[in-house]
Structure 1
C-alpha cells in the first residue's frame, strides 16, 4: 500500500462565496465598507462548507479520503496510486485548487493522518 497526504493551501480562501453570502459578510471600518468574496476563516459554518466543497470536487475519485481540506490517497499498489494522484492533480488544475507543498507527503509506506498512524498493516 502507498499513501499520500495533500493539504490545500489557504483552503477556505479558495472557495468563492455566492453573492448573497458575500453580502452577509459585509463589515464596516473607519476606512470604508468591505465584504468578503472568498470564504473567511473563523465563521461557524466554514469547516462544513469546506468539507462539502472538497468532497464535491474530489470525492468521486477512488482511494481518496477527505477530512475538511486534507486528503489522503490510500491506494493498494503503485499503479493505482499513480492513477489516483494524477486524477487529483488534474482535478485540482481544472478547479484552480492549490496545495501546500510543505505539508504534502508523497508515496509513503506509512503516514500520520488526522492524528492517526496509518500503514499497510492498518491503523
Structure 2
C-alpha cells in the first residue's frame, strides 16, 4: 500500500503535507487512550486569575514511528518514494498517541495547573507570581523532552483568553461568541 502525497492550506497561509490514510486506518487496531473532556478543564481552572496558552510546534512530527513500521506509511511524490520516520497527520491513532505523550511528559502538573488537549497546553494559576513559576516549569519540561512551542500562536500571562471554544476569565467561563455565532448562523438545510 503506497499512497500519493499532496498539500492543503493552513489558516496561516502555510501548507500542510497530507496523505489519505483511510485504507490503513480501516485496518489499524485503535488506540483507546482518551482525549480529555473540556468540562474537566473548566473544573480545574476554578479560582484561577492568570492564564497562558502554549501551542506545540509540529506536534505529531515530534513522535518517532516505531522502527520497522515506516513502510506502512510510505508515500509517492513526483520525485520518488518516501517513508515517514515521524508520525504524520491523518493516522487514526495519532491524536491518542500524542495526547498520551504530552500527558506523560507533564504528568505531575496536569490537573494541578496544566490542562493538555493535543497540541494545546493551558497553564492556569491563582496569581501572576505563581503563574510565572508555573509557565517556566512547563516550558522547561517541554524543552527537556524535545517538545517545542510555536511562539506566534501562544498567549502569555492573560487574565482572559479564548481556549477550545471558550473564553476563560477569573470569574467566568463562557462560550466564545465567534464560535457560538458560527453555529447560530449556520444555514438551515434545504434538502
The TM-score normalised by the length of structure 2 is 0.59
Task: Give deviations 1:33-67, integer Å, cap 9, x for gaps.
Answer: 42111110111111111111111112322301000
- Residues 29, 78 of structure 1: alpha-carbon distance in 2 compared, 3 angstrom cutoff: closer
* Structure 1: distance between partners of 2:75 and 2:141: 34
Comparing both chains, which one has the higher relative contact order based on Cα–Cα distances under 8 Å and sequence gaps of 6 or more?
A: 1
Residue 13 (structure 1) aligned with residue 71 (structure 2): no
How many residue pairs match? The answer is 123
Gaps of 5+ in 2: 1-48, 174-191
Partners of 1:90 and 1:7 lie apart in 2 by 14
Q: Residues 92, 31 of structure 1: CA spacing in aligned structure 2 closer, same or farther, 3 A cutoff? A: same
Is residue 94 of structure 2 the alignment partner of residue 46 of structure 1? Answer: yes
SS of 2:147 mapped into structure 1:
coil
1:59, 1:65 within 8 Å by CA — same for their partners in 2?
no
How many angstroms apart in 1 are the aligned matches of 2:162 and 2:80?
45
Q: Which runs of 5+ in 1 are unaligned?
A: none
Write the distance in 2 (CA, Å) between the matches of 1:22 and 1:60. 32
Give the superposition deviation at 1:32. 4.4
Alpha-carbon separation, structure 2, partners of 1:21 and 1:107? 42
**Correspondence 1:1-123 to 2 at 5 A:** 1-27=49-75, 31-61=79-109, 62-123=112-173
Taking the aligned partners of 2:78 and 2:57, their CA distance within structure 1 comes to 31
Q: Select between 82-91 and 102-111 the one with higher mean Cα deviation.
A: 82-91
Shift of the alpha carbon at 1:23?
Answer: 3.7
Q: What is the alpha-carbon root mean square deviation over aligned residues? A: 1.7
SS at match of 2:99: helix
